[in-house]
């Protein structure tokens, strides 16, 4: 699908300086379909404000608590991610509601997820060691 009518080509070409060239941009069918879906299915986005504990330097074998809170009571699920310094990706540690937590793989042995209520929770590293050196992120979701 062309971004402009081909019938208008002559008029547009006459208005361009003779030394310039122009290109007709064409949308792929996939982009066009996505654009229509976006128009027909709009959604409203809102932003929650998060607060998380500052960076910490800790001694080995100590328990470390990283707190997280947000201001949107509709976000019932809190998720925790780990990003190691040698990786661009984040790994899901676990997630949960105020009533129960779910861990990914080996993380249940090393970490504990707690929730005070829908708006706040914590990630606890049971016994910190060098392998826990990472950036930890909390996030929240409705589902």
Question: What does the alpha-carbon distance between residue 68 and residue 12 come to, in Å, rounded to a whole number?
Answer: 57
pLDDT tens, position by position, 92-123: 999 999 899 999 999 999 999 999 999 999 99
Question: What does the alpha-carbon distance between residue 68 and residue 50 come to, in Å, rounded to a whole number?
Answer: 7
Regions in the chain scoring below 70 on pLDDT: 1-45
| First-to-last C-alpha distance (Å) of the chain | 37
pLDDT at residue number 131 = 94
Determine the Cα angle at 125 with ends 74 and 62, to 5°: 140
With CA atoms as reference, report the closest residue to 69 among 50, 96, 53: 50
Question: What does the alpha-carbon distance between residue 85 and residue 72 come to, in Å, rounded to a whole number?
Answer: 30
Who's near 111: CB < 8 A, 6+ residues apart?
A: 80, 93, 94, 103, 123, 124, 125, 126
Q: Which residues of 108-117 are buried (b: 16+ CB within 10 A; e: fewer)?
A: eebbbbebee
User: What is the CATH architecture of 50-141?
Assistant: Sandwich (2.60)
Hey, where are the domains in the chain? 6-40, 50-141
Instruction: Indicate yes or no: pTM above 0.75.
Output: no
């Amino acid at each position: 699908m062309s971004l402009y009518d081909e019938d208008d080509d002559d008029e547009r070409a006459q208005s361009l300086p003779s030394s310039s060239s122009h290109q007709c941009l064409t949308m792929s069918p996939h982009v066009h379909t996505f654009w229509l879906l976006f128009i027909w299915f709009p959604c409203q986005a809102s932003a929650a404000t998060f607060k998380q504990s500052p960076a910490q330097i800790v001694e080995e074998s100590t328990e470390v608590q990283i707190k997280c809170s947000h201001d949107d009571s509709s976000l019932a699920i809190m998720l925790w991610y780990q990003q190691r310094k040698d990786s661009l990706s984040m790994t899901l540690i676990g997630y949960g509601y105020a009533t129960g937590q779910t861990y990914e793989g080996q993380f249940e042995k090393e970490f504990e997820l707690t929730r005070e209520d829908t708006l706040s929770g914590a990630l606890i590293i049971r016994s910190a060691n060098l392998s826990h050196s990472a950036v930890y992120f909390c996030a929240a979701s409705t589902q």
